[in-house]
Structure 1
Amino acid sequence: MRVRLWSCAGAALLALLLSTAGDAEAKDRPFEIRTATSRLSEGVWFANARIDYRLSDDALEALENGVSLTIQLQIEVSRIRRFWTDAKVASLKQSYLLSYQPLSERYVIMNLNSGEQNSFATLFSALNHMGRVVDLPLIDASILDPDARYEVSMRAILDQDTLPGPLRMIAFWSEGFRLVSNRYTWKLGD
């Protein structure tokens, strides 16, 4: 009787954990790179991508309480080798600072690489704008071997190292600040 009771209690606990894990995952989805391509123009390879950014409840609360969030695109170009590990040819980090201005009730995105700044009425509009990567310079074609094959990989992350000190400590232990996309890989030129 006692063994059966423990079995039922264990099954109920497992069902509860699985159901809440699914809800949390659906609610706090990380960033997702939907598509990415590259094109050659005037001797330079450019990247184009579509990224869906969704902030967790923790990140959203921090943003609305005045904490600026740095979101980073990490891109690598690698030479594909047959009998050896791929060789990294170049790496690029494109960083964006997302902030909320309570006085004007606007969301501001600053491209930290170029200094370009845009303001949006809604968070959805701001994240949608940031998720459209258009003609981001990757690498000069002249430094690539024309006979070699190359691939590009991209991922998007919330950069926890740029959070304020006390929040950085909380973010280290909190799943709500571990926002990382899938690593999207494609052949250069596809």
Structure 2
Amino acid sequence: MEVVTSFHLLLGWRPGILGRMLTVLALLWAVSMGAAAQTSVLLTELRGERAPDGLYVSAQLKFDLSGAVEEALGKGIPVYFVAEADVFRERWYWSDAHVASARRYMRVSYQPLTRRWRLSSSSEPLSNAGLGVNLGQYYDSLPDTLAAVQRLSQWKVADASNLDADARYSLRFRFYLDSSQLPRTMQLGNIGPSEWNLSVDRRLDIPPEAGK
């Protein structure tokens, strides 16, 4: 309401149609600014490349963690990220056919004893107990760890057997912070949803192979 009050004082507001219109415009502006502030993920690069053995995706993201997320990490609570890729074959006579899916699950955690950061990644969901086969890398700082999370290079999302050389495809790419993996006590607690709302969703056209 401070925004609305500022508009009133600046324009010498008086009751009437003009005043109501200015009030509505001010509220819409405030809401749009609040929504923009929550859009914290930029997808600066997204490429799909066909290869003899399948389809590969490379992506570069850019985002900053909120204070609440960084505080949770500092307390030893792991934070989970998920990258999803779904491949569809275009069909003019019907809805597009889903032909392949790939998932990459990433967990960022802080190791207090060594004061190092660990990034675990797997094609299968990572449990809180850390069970299952996954790759782990250690970093000296949180920015270095996030730089690895934000970069996906030559990620295979479909086998050649699922693709036709002369067909057109579309790729849906999604990346998000998975707040459902937080401890149950935090999920039921009073955490600000906007502070954990970190995601991006984009579609990409994949043309037929060159010469087809």
TM-score by length of 2: 0.73
SS at 1:129 equivalent: helix
CA distance 1:86–1:13, change in 2 (3 Å): closer
CA distance 1:107–1:22, change in 2 (3 Å): farther
> Deviations for 1:153-172, whole angstroms, at most 9, x for unmatched residues?
11101112211102123488
Measured after TM superposition, the shift of residue 5 of structure 1 is: 7.1
CA distance in 2, matches of 1:29, 1:123: 21
> Deviations for 1:128-182, whole angstroms, at most 9, x for unmatched residues?
1121111111111122233321111111011122111021234886211121113
Bigger RCO (CA 8 Å, 6+ sep) = 1
CA distance in 2, matches of 1:188, 1:45: 12
**Which residue of the partner structure matches residue 108 of structure 1?**
118
Q: 1:131 aligns with which of 130, 140, 150?
A: 150
Q: 1:65 aligns with which of 67, 75, 85?
A: 75
CA distance 1:18–1:106, change in 2 (3 Å): farther
State yes or no: 1:76 paired with 2:86.
Answer: yes
What amino acid sits opposite 2:175 in the alignment?
A
> Deviations for 1:64-104, whole angstroms, at most 9, x for unmatched residues?
22111110001100011224221211121111001112232
SS at 1:48 equivalent: strand
Percent of matched pairs sharing the same residue: 26
CA distance 1:58–1:24, change in 2 (3 Å): farther
CA distance in 2, matches of 1:71, 1:95: 6
Q: 1:162 aligns with which of 176, 181, 186?
A: 181
Q: Which residues of 2 match residues 1-190 of structure 1 at below 5 A?
A: 4=14, 18=29, 22=33, 25-26=36-37, 29-113=39-123, 115-170=134-189, 174-187=193-206
**1:160–1:171 contact (8 Å) kept in structure 2:** no
> Deviations for 1:31-84, whole angstroms, at most 9, x for unmatched residues?
222211122334222111111232122222211221111100011000112242
What amino acid sits opposite 1:162 in the alignment?
Q
TM-score by length of 1: 0.80
Bigger drift between 90-99 and 16-25 goes to 16-25
CA distance in 1, matches of 2:55, 2:104: 15
**2:172–2:201 contact (8 Å) kept in structure 1:** no
SS at 1:84 equivalent: coil
Measured after TM superposition, the shift of residue 21 of structure 1 is: 7.0
Runs of 5+ in structure 1 lacking a partner?
A: none
- State the aligned residue count: 187
